[in-house]
Structure 1
Amino acid sequence: MSGNSIPLVSSVFLSDLKNQTSDSHRKLESLPISASILSPEMKKSDYIDYLSLMYDVHKSTENVIFPLLPEIITDLDQRRKSHLIEEDLAFLQYNKTGSNDIFNTSKITIPFALGILYVIEGSSLGGRFILKNISKIPGLENNQGTHYFQGYGDKTGTFWKNFLGFLSEYEENYKCGNTIIEGAIYGFDSIYNHFTSI
């Protein structure tokens, strides 16, 4: 699949996806742990808590979601991020033992998995903005301990557009928009439940 054959700006499906997940997205962003990474008063302990939670999310994505999608998302291996969080936590001298399963349904289909990945990949977009705030924490200057939020670096926009291309092409070929949207809502809600379980 090319990932480029569907014009992104005219995709009605992508508009529907964004609109129908907006409530779940807002609910997740309203949590104190989500807000903490943008707070000027953010402490290193807040940052560690957030990274630890996101490690579980990415580890679960890589274990459960990625195996379903290598034929659809051709650059999937470049989208792995749990190792970046491991590096950051090691720099912060935080020992995380094990991880919690976030996406534990055994009935995940390819379009449902694409919806979950839409949530995960979308979170990388804000990473560059968040990085500016995190870099103000004493000890995190000089890009140390911030590998996760550096993400794709200056290629972040390109990676997002490519993902939307893969997503749109799959939806166009298989007419499975509703299932993708269900997966995305499940993704947001699963992360919300994980964030509120601490």
Structure 2
Amino acid sequence: MSAAAAATARDALRAATDAIHARLHGLPALQALAEGRIGRAGYVALLRRLLGFHAAVEAALADAPSLGPSLIPWGIDIAQRRRAGLIEADLATLGAALGASAGPVPLAPLPALGTVPRALGCLYVTEGSTLGGRQLARALDGLLPPGEAGRRFLLGHGARHGAMWRACCAALEHCGAEPARRAEMLAAAEATFLAFEAWFAGAP
């Protein structure tokens, strides 16, 4: 099924991003995490790279002053979906907190996100990552003690996970019901995945 012919916005998003999404599973750090063979240093490096990406997304959405209020009618509160702080908490648990001497976190370059459809296309990527993240959290059982500490980011929105994802899906369908908005949303989702891939390709 082509992205243009997909019956639902989520079908269209999956069709448009399937190839790049599949490639991301082959990123060495993510593959090591999924297979339960990532070490402490590798996990810290992965979290720092993820922080650069998610902090960039949150900054980009915050830098569009009218965007936050514009998303509220679509059932999306950007502030409730911030997860960069969870990564910082995980780093602190691992003894790798970012002190003042470390300087600002390098931020990943991102596509423009200043419209509702583009913001929702990006959120499809970042919110969708919470689905697989919960499984990846279990893959850390050999590295971390039981509990949430050190894997808060991967556990996503915790008890709110189901409701948050359903609200995101509803917003995607509502916005994607109009062809021009759907096209913009698909372009932003694909560009966000590509930005994520490029950010990890350039990891030190």
Pair in the same fold by TM > 0.5:
yes
TM-score, with length taken from structure 1: 0.85
- Aligned counterpart for 1:99 among listed residues 105, 108, 115: 105
Q: C-alpha displacement at 1:108, in angstroms? A: 4.1
Q: C-alpha displacement at 1:28, in angstroms? A: 1.5
Gaps of 5+ in 2: 1-5
Q: What SS does the corresponding residue of 2:177 show, helix, strand or coil? A: helix
- Aligned counterpart for 2:91 among listed residues 73, 79, 89: 89
Listed as ranges, the matches of 1:49-88 within 5 Å are: 49-66=45-62, 67=64, 68-72=67-71, 73-88=75-90
- Aligned counterpart for 2:158 among listed residues 153, 166, 174: 153
- Number of residue equivalences: 188
Q: C-alpha displacement at 1:170, in angstroms? A: 2.0
Q: What SS does the corresponding residue of 1:62 show, helix, strand or coil? A: helix
Distance 1:184 1:63 in 2: 17
Distance 1:19 1:105 in 2: 20
Q: What SS does the corresponding residue of 1:160 show, helix, strand or coil? A: helix
Deviations 1:115-162 (A, max 9, x none): 111100000111111111113214x43322221112212332221111
TM-score, with length taken from structure 2: 0.83
Letter in 2 for 1:54: L
Distance 1:160 1:11 in 2: 20
Residue 136 (structure 2) aligns with: 130
Q: C-alpha displacement at 1:85, in angstroms? A: 0.8
- Aligned counterpart for 1:193 among listed residues 194, 198, 203: 198
% identity of equivalent residues: 25
Gaps of 5+ in 1: 1-9
Q: What SS does the corresponding residue of 1:150 show, helix, strand or coil? A: coil
- On the 8 A contact 1:21/1:185 being kept in 2, the answer is yes
- On the 8 A contact 1:112/1:179 being kept in 2, the answer is yes
Residue 117 (structure 1) aligns with: 123
* CA-based RMSD: 2.1
